[in-house]
């Protein structure tokens, strides 16, 4: 009975890693649409979000079924509850990718990101995509060291966010309010993707060790 339970639990984590891969694709394609002004790619991201939502529902159904049919001990219960929270975070990351794609689509045939700030947004997007990729492996391997290391990538994202604000507030900014709002929102979306990635990684640490790394750091 316990062996079957843990097989089902492992299956949930495999599903979480698969959703993470879907999110990684969404981040990559949303960025491609943003930087190329391709409305078709933007729409592809928006349409694909339905599948991420359905995947979340399947994970939730599986987790609730485990809770209702089994009697998990404390550590197993911790894992199931963490999985439920993780899938919610992953879904939100997919939603944020959709927000990026919608800004890209809204500005077609123009680009939402002015040329001089494109390097910052490109780097934010690359950091976000890399973090999502690493989270997928962290979920699969349940590697605490890799999970804790993700914080350093998030620190770079925070620095990039500050750099984008410096550009927006510069006296040299000549692209108007609309472009400034777009860039501010895009920076926020990529930053939040990174934040959710760290949160998922922290939940993996909690599953493995029973400790919340945020509490330890504080």
| CATH code (residue 104) | 1.20.58.220
Tell me the mean pLDDT in the region 181-190.
Answer: 96
Report the chain's mean pLDDT, rounded to a whole number: 91
The torsion angles phi and psi of 135, rounded to 5 degrees, stand at -65, -40
Of 7-21, 121-135, 165-179, 204-218, least confident by mean pLDDT is: 204-218
Q: Which residue has the tokens 């993707």?
A: 193
Rg (CA), the chain: 19
pTM to 2 decimal places: 0.92
Task: Please report, for the chain, how many H helices and E strands are present, in that order.
Answer: 7, 0
Say how many domains are in the chain. 1
pLDDT at residue 136 tops 50: yes
As a whole number of angstroms, the distance between CA 164 and CA 140 comes to 34
Domain residues for the domain of 153 are: 2-217
49 CB-side CA count, 13 A: 22
pLDDT in tens, 44-97: 999 999 999 999 999 999 998 888 876 667 778 888 999 999 999 999 999 999
Element (H, E) at 53: helix 39-69
Task: Give the distance from CA 119 to its chain's centroid.
Answer: 21
Contacts of 132 (CB under 8 A, 6+ apart): 20, 23, 24, 27, 93, 193, 197
pLDDT at 218: 37
pLDDT at 72: 66
The pLDDT-based confidence of 214 (bands split at 50, 70, 90) is low
pLDDT at residue 179 tops 70: yes
pLDDT at residue 137 tops 90: yes
pLDDT in tens, 35-56: 999 999 999 999 999 999 999 9
């Amino acid at each position: 009975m316990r062996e079957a339970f843990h097989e089902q639990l492992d299956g949930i984590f495999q599903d979480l890693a698969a959703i993470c891969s879907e999110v990684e694709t969404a981040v990559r394609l949303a960025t491609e649409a943003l930087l190329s002004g391709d409305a078709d790619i933007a729409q592809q991201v928006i349409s694909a979000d339905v599948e991420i939502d359905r995947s979340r529902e399947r994970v939730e159904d599986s987790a609730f079924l485990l809770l209702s049919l089994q009697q998990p001990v404390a550590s197993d219960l911790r894992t199931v509850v963490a999985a439920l929270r993780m899938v919610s975070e992953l879904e939100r990351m997919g939603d944020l990718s959709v927000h990026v794609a919608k800004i890209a689509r809204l500005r077609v045939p123009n680009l939402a990101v002015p040329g001089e700030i494109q390097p910052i947004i490109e780097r934010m997007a690359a950091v976000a995509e890399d973090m999502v990729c690493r989270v997928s492996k962290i979920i699969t391997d349940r590697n605490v060291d890799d999970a804790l290391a993700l914080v350093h990538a998030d620190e770079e994202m925070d620095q990039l966010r500050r750099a984008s604000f410096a550009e927006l507030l510069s006296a040299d900014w000549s692209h108007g309010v609309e472009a400034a709002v777009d860039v501010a929102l895009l920076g926020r979306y990529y930053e939040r993707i990174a934040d959710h990635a760290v949160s998922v990684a922290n939940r993996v640490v909690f599953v493995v060790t029973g400790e919340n790394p945020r509490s330890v750091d504080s």
